[in-house]
A = this chain, B = another copy of it.
């Protein structure tokens, strides 16, 4: 393990290679035998479970309930909303048959040609269509509204270029689908959920995000308006981390979902949908980790504190363990997730390197000398600083340190973003600056044509039109036409 760690590529050498190696070496995930699909390994999945549990609680606090809708969507459903099918048709996994059989010519097992489906089924790339097909049965009167459903599910988009967690053919996510009686209420829910995602990103992932609206080019297929949270990775590229879509009445019209309002008149239902995915794992890794491995925010770390005994023989180990037991109990009482690693098949040095690689926020090490002195060695993963503390009161100390680490890595990421964000006023300057990475705040004339030109020439896209901050109007850096406010351009994952 120590050897493997030494082999980790440095971020400055090859950021992309560093990321991929780290995902594998830290036991988060690996490529599977299926093109573009990954296996999420237990340590990676444990982080995802903490994200899920937190988000699920936050959703439920706003009145959302979970449900489950079919994996497979009839092709005709997907085609009902024109923009929607246009957006997803090119990356659909299609089920055409429902049986295998032995090849009569002896070539093993083949697809049974007699078991062809009358209508092809699509592995859901997202579930608006099947869900709105269902909501037609659920919604008749204003009394049935709002419907606030979420589902935790796997979805599939046949991406040609994949990268673990960031872009995979199959990924795990949650998708919320709400139905409302009024446009205002639906818009309010759309904004509520992007705010919830921003809170989650900042308070749990320690990842600062900018809330904004997507330009028409980057909008969800079938939405009137897409809200997004955008984070900046350490290499200065943007990562879209969550979206919330105001779908207007598009899906209600496509699936004929109407309700009788308080004035006893039929009206189409107003919709929104919102989601985050295992992509957040990629965002988490790239926001904080370093050349020694993962750096996990304490609020999402499966193990927040590890205790490693340093001993020469079994007697010493027994003595150390006797002193560690109350520390473990005190930490658990304070709600700290703690592991005492007394395994004797790995030496302390290996363990240290392994827990560094895995991003455990706090490591305690304790040996015979420490016990004599009533002290313990504390190492914090974010700064790699070591200090010696009294055993007395160590649990409270660790608890406080975890919060300090959480705050520190957020601040570090925020500083990095601020340093890498600047205003640019001419297109010439833009072309130079975009090569350095980061967020460029520029005036834009609001047209898809200008955005496409910039993208074609610089690979940068509009990440969002920020909701907060400076709203001073100006003139487009490319066309000189009027601009309402600066927008964020960046290259992105």
Contacts and interface: CB of A to CB of B under 8 A. Distances in A.
A460 B118 CA distance: 35
A177 to B, nearest CB: 12
A100 B90 contact: yes
A93 B121 contact: yes
Contacts of A99: 89-92, 94, 158
A365 to B, nearest CB: 23
Interface in A30-75: 30, 32-34, 37-42, 45-46, 48-49, 65-75
A74 B33 CA distance: 8
B92 A130 contact: no
Contacts of A49: 66
A73, A96, A149: which has the most chain B beta carbons within 10 Å?
A: A96
A239 B360 CA distance: 45
A424 interface: no
Nearest to A88: B100
A367 interface: no
Given A98-B91, A99-B92, A158-B98, A130 B33 contact: yes
B37 A70 contact: yes
Interface in A91-142: 91-102, 108-109, 111, 120-123, 130, 133-134, 137
A436 interface: no
Q: How many copies of the chain does the oligomer comprise? A: 2
A67 B41 contact: yes
Contacts of A137: 30
A347 interface: no
Contacts of A40: 67-68
Chain A, interface residues (CB within 8 Å), range: 35 or more
A133 B33 contact: yes
Given A85-B100, A134-B39, A45 B33 contact: no
B39 A69 contact: yes
Contacts of A108: 79
Contacts of A154: 71, 153-154
15 contacts: A30-B134, A34-B70, A34-B74, A39-B67, A39-B68, A39-B69, A42-B67, A45-B68, A48-B68, A75-B100, A89-B100, A89-B101, A92-B99, A94-B111, A99-B158
Given A32-B70, A34-B130, A78-B100, 4 more contacts: A37-B70, A37-B72, A71-B71, A89-B101
Q: Which 8 A-B pairs have the closest CB atoms?
A: A42-B65, A37-B70, A89-B100, A40-B68, A98-B158, A94-B97, A34-B70, A96-B96
